Chain A
Amino acid sequence: MRSRFSFASHTTKALVRRDFFLTLKGWGLYLSAFLSLLASSFILKSHLGAIKENNILISSDPLNFPLFISLVIVSFYLAIISVISISREKDQGTLEVLFYGPVNSSSYLVAKYIKDMLLYLVMVCFFFVYFTAVSSLTNLSFSWSLVKAIFLSIFLVSCIVSFSLFISSLTSKMRTSIIWLVGILLAFLAIQIFHTMLVSLEEEALSSSLLYLRKTLEMVSRGTGWISPFSYLNRGMQSIAIGSMRLYGMSILYSLVYSFILLVSSVLILEAKGVRG
């Protein structure tokens, strides 16, 4: 057990450095950041249009929703590159070669996890620059709760990255991994978005079929509440909305526990299945 989870820090460092700089030198990171910010810009533009039309809008954090959209796009990108890199290394036999050396399952997966988290920190820098610019251009407030939301997003990404590592440890083919990952994440996201949309509508505004759908989604959301990485972000965002530092801290803790459980499970699965899958 000890050897299974022991990893040489210099090996992990070397793997992180290799993967991190390789991704940093490619175009994917910048392109996904651009696409995520472009989506945010569209949302913000329609938001400003609504203020212009109604002359008034009362909102606590108008930048939080655009941040959420950017975050979803970026986290999908990180999850997919993580899955691709593991599956490709499995397919091409690189993983097997690495495992003949000082690399073991835990150091390999931890390195992948750290690399993705570092890439997200680069994205966080982009978010700070972008939202500061948006705030000064539009006068939409760059509030303390936006800073808290950005900080919280690091833990959501941690959940998604560990989830993607878990999926890639379960599957051996790249295509299967991507299909499973994207399918599950999209399903989780769709459940959360539709549920939030229906919950935000007044009961009187819903037809009976939508009411049944809302109830069904309520039950499904309860079921996926501890499995879906997005529900961890949702919990954190709610704690920000009510200004509860205790709940905010708890949601961070839950995310860390979730990530830890999935990482350990991934290591165990990879160990059990072997490098050839």
Chain B
Amino acid sequence: MRKFSLFFTLILALLLGALTSPSLAQASPFREQLVYSLNLFNGKTYAPGFCPRSEDTIYLIANENNAVSPRITLVYFWPITARYMAGFKTLNEEIEGTLELLKDGKVIRSLEKEDNVVFYPEGFFAENSRMYLDEEAHAFLQKYEKATKDYYKRIDEYYEKMREYRDAFNKFLEDLSKRREAGEELSRAQVEAEMPRQPGSPEGVRFYTTPLAKNYILNLPQGTYQIRLRARDGTIVQDSQKNLVAFVQRRGGTIGYEITPGNRWTMKESSNDPSKTIYAAGKNTLYLRPFLQDEYNDLYYKKLLDPQNEGTPERWMWVHTTPIENVLVVLLSKGKLLESIKRAPYYVKQIPGPELGYEILEYSEEEFAGRSPSFEGHKLEVSSVSGKGNYEFHLEKREGEVLKGSEREILFVKKENTNLLHVISIFPLIVGLVVFVQRKRSIS
């Protein structure tokens, strides 16, 4: 009994201790740590990130420029996302030295920091960008600085023209009222013709170049490597050793589609694999967005996006790299051309009612002024009725010029025959019965 009481008291004390201990949901304290600040190419653009001490491998796409930079920063564990976070704003100390690249334990390259910029040809918010180094980096930066300077100059000129326009407009109004008071009769066309014209606002700089940065640039063929930082005094910087995996796509440059079904526009489908067939049941409207795409290993690609991500080495994932524009979707049925469809913007209008609750309308600036389109796509209206049967579609750059790998098939399932499936599974028994009867006959 005494033993039991002792055991019970001990358990109670442990439980109370656990309850009074600091909550597990609290963020852990900041710790100074060497991390690798990353700016890696993800197949379409450059995404920043960092590799903390807890991760021993950095994953990157082979044969592309990738920037890494070892830094001392404050790292803390954020339990809500179960990830280490870096406080670069508080501490961001650059470490000087030479980055050594090793293969099979031998140093194959010693890297110094290089000037680099990331160039976004369609603006910062567009999804494609390239990294340029050294002289090219300076050239692209100068190009952007010059374009920005020219833009500000045009803005100044615009403001000056606007001021002149307002003065001229006020003077025009004064003159107009005087002339009307004097009894002059003016037609609307006459007034519009004499009215000063408002100057158009200058067009902004469409492209963007990031400020000049100095990083170690890794552009490696496919393979596994190691990196480490050698300080100026010749010693290896502690915690700077990392494994490096440079990987390539399994399949690349193929055409994939993002498909928005008209009956549930928020739940998009993908037809990435050319061997995949689109099965439909009944009438449906499909909005297609074609993309160029590459297929990567799930683990490698997710680790590339964030070294703290988990991934599955057995899985493969498609990454849409570049949207394909200025093409026609050509819809055919039994080889016969039905329609050539252009890409168009669409607006989803919410409507009250028991059915879908929305309506997808073709977007036009006049009709939906001040609102932007909900999505863009090639609209395909398909139906199993009207005797059209199955469909195929592909992309054409110009008439008759089919983009390879863009072909897909739409098949309509015959729902009415589903009950017959069980019936046809009986046929081996029928064969067995025939064999049995024959055997009986031969014996008799």
Number of residues of chain B lying within 8 A (CB) of chain A: 52
Q: Do the beta carbons of B277 and A34 come within 8 Å of each other?
A: no
A62 CB contact (under 8 Å) in B269, B279, B282, B316? B279
Q: Do the beta carbons of B427 and A129 come within 8 Å of each other?
A: yes
Q: How far is the CA of A211 from the CA of B415 in the complex (A)?
A: 38
**Nearest A residue (CB) for B250:** A242
Known: A37-B428, A130-B425, A133-B424. A55 touches B281 (CB 8 A): yes
**Nearest B residue (CB) for A200:** B315
B259 within 8 A of partner (CB): yes
Pick the most buried of B264, B270, B409, B425: most chain A CB atoms within 10 A of its CB.
Answer: B425
Contacts of A200 in B (CB 8 A): 315
Q: Do the beta carbons of A31 and B432 come within 8 Å of each other?
A: yes
B18 within 8 A of partner (CB): no
Q: How far is the CA of A262 from the CA of B417 in the complex (A)?
A: 44
Q: Do the beta carbons of A34 and B424 come within 8 Å of each other?
A: no
Q: How far is the CA of A38 from the CA of B270 in the complex (A)?
A: 31
239-295 of chain B: CB within 8 A of chain A: 250-251, 259, 261, 263-264, 269-271, 273, 275-282, 284, 286
**Nearest A residue (CB) for B82:** A208
**Nearest A residue (CB) for B390:** A139
A139 CB contact (under 8 Å) in B312, B413, B426? B413
Q: Do the beta carbons of A58 and B259 come within 8 Å of each other?
A: yes
Q: How far is the CA of A169 from the CA of B277 in the complex (A)?
A: 46
Known: A126-B428, A129-B427. A57 touches B279 (CB 8 A): yes
B420 within 8 A of partner (CB): yes
124-172 of chain A: CB within 8 A of chain B: 126, 129-130, 133-134, 137-141, 143, 145
Q: How far is the CA of A241 from the CA of B135 in the complex (A)?
A: 45
Q: Do the beta carbons of B310 and A41 come within 8 Å of each other?
A: no
Contacts of A203 in B (CB 8 A): 302, 309-312
Pick the most buried of B259, B264, B310: most chain A CB atoms within 10 A of its CB.
Answer: B310
A130 CB contact (under 8 Å) in B263, B312, B316, B427? B427
Known: A37-B428, A129-B427, A199-B315. A138 touches B421 (CB 8 A): yes
B418 within 8 A of partner (CB): yes
Q: How far is the CA of A258 from the CA of B420 in the complex (A)?
A: 39
A121 within 8 A of partner (CB): no
Q: Which of A21-29, A93-101, A263-271 contacts B (4 or more CB under 8 A)?
A: A21-29
A33 within 8 A of partner (CB): yes
Contacts of A52 in B (CB 8 A): 281, 413, 415
Q: Do the beta carbons of A56 and B273 come within 8 Å of each other?
A: no
Known: A58-B271, A242-B251. A30 touches B413 (CB 8 A): no
Once A and B bind, how many residue pairs between them come within 8 Å at the CB atom? 141
Contacts of B261 in A (CB 8 A): 54-56
Q: Mark A209-243, 1 if CB is under 8 A from B, else 0.
A: 00100100010010000000000000000000111
A207 within 8 A of partner (CB): no
Contacts of A143 in B (CB 8 A): 275, 277
B274 CB to nearest chain A CB (Å)? 8
Q: How far is the CA of A24 from the CA of B426 in the complex (A)?
A: 17
Q: Do the beta carbons of B425 and A199 come within 8 Å of each other?
A: no
Number of residues of chain A lying within 8 A (CB) of chain B: 50
Known: A59-B279, A242-B250. A138 touches B429 (CB 8 A): no
178-203 of chain A: CB within 8 A of chain B: 199-200, 203
Q: How far is the CA of A140 from the CA of B282 in the complex (A)?
A: 15
Contacts of B251 in A (CB 8 A): 242
A30 CB contact (under 8 Å) in B278, B390, B422, B431? B431
**Nearest A residue (CB) for B433:** A30
Known: A29-B432, A58-B278, A137-B420. A38 touches B414 (CB 8 A): no
Q: How far is the CA of A170 from the CA of B428 in the complex (A)?
A: 34
29-48 of chain A: CB within 8 A of chain B: 29-31, 33-34, 37-38, 40-42, 44-45, 48
A118 within 8 A of partner (CB): no
A237 CB to nearest chain B CB (Å)? 12
Contacts of A27 in B (CB 8 A): 432, 436
B414 CB contact (under 8 Å) in A25, A37, A138? A138
Q: Mark B431-443, 1 if CB is under 8 A from A, else 0.
A: 1100110010000
A60 within 8 A of partner (CB): yes
A245 within 8 A of partner (CB): no
A253 CB to nearest chain B CB (Å)? 21
Q: Do the beta carbons of B428 and A34 come within 8 Å of each other?
A: yes
Would you give 17 A-B contacts (Cβ < 8 Å), ordered by A? A24-B435, A30-B428, A31-B432, A40-B425, A45-B418, A45-B421, A49-B418, A51-B280, A51-B281, A55-B261, A56-B269, A56-B280, A57-B280, A58-B279, A60-B276, A139-B411, A141-B277
A-B interface, 5 closest residue pairs, ranked by CB to CB distance from nearest: A30-B432, A33-B428, A37-B425, A41-B421, A137-B417
5 new A-B pairs (CB below 8 Å) besides A58-B279, A130-B424?
A25-B435, A49-B418, A56-B280, A58-B259, A218-B313
